[in-house]
């Protein structure tokens, strides 16, 4: 494999996505680190926007934030998180936001797992 395989990433990361990013960077770990850093910086804003949309009863805000978080999650290989965001995105598009609080709680829980796995992954890359 091109990237280290820390045990706790298997739960929530598709390492093939991270390998693809590395290959786009000609095998360098720097692009992977940049993409992950951007995800870690940007995703809390998306989660906060979902929460804001829920508080303001605004499906469009929820839809846009869930869509962005879904795309970013897919990029870093967080497929379970991406699927959760897709479900929320589809519901918000249809104006079905009564379950957003429960969906957001599940997204936040999965997000914490993804962050821990990505941080572990990046730490191992530093040893590469």
Most confident among 23-27, 83-87, 123-127 (mean pLDDT) = 83-87
| 94 or 3, greater pLDDT | 94
Number of domains in the chain: 1
- Rounded distance between C-alpha atoms, residue 74 and residue 78, angstroms: 6
Give the model's pLDDT for residue 4. Answer: 43
Does any domain span residue 3? no
pLDDT tens digits, one per residue of 78-97: 999 999 999 999 999 999 99
| Domain extent at residue 70 | 9-122
Decide if 2 is inside a domain: no
Q: Is residue 45 part of a domain?
A: yes
Does residue 63 belong to any structural domain of this protein? yes
**128 in a structural domain:** no
The answer to whether position 91 is within a domain reads: yes
pTM of the model: 0.89
pLDDT in tens, 93-124: 999 999 999 999 999 999 999 999 999 999 98
Residue 28 has a pLDDT of: 85
Q: Provide the pLDDT for residue 65.
A: 98
85-93: long-range contacts at Cβ-Cβ below 8 A with a sequence spacing of 24 or more? 88/50, 88/62, 89/63, 92/53, 92/59, 92/60, 92/62, 92/63, 92/66, 93/59, 93/63
CATH number where 112 lies:
1.20.120.160
Rounded Cα–Cα distance for residues 37 and 84 (Å) = 21
The verdict on residue 15 lying in a domain is: yes
């Amino acid at each position: 494999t091109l990237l280290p395989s820390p045990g706790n990433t298997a739960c929530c990361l598709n390492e093939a996505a991270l390998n693809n990013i590395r290959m786009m960077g000609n095998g360098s770990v720097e692009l992977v680190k940049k993409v992950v850093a951007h995800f870690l910086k940007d995703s809390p804003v998306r989660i906060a926007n979902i929460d804001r949309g829920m508080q303001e009863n605004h499906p469009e805000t929820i839809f846009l934030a869930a869509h962005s978080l879904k795309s970013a999650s897919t990029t870093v290989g967080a497929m379970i998180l991406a699927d959760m965001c897709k479900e929320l995105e589809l519901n918000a598009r249809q104006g079905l936001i009564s379950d957003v609080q429960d969906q957001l709680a599940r997204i936040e829980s999965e997000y914490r797992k993804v962050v821990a796995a990505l941080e572990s992954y990046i730490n191992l890359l530093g040893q590469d």
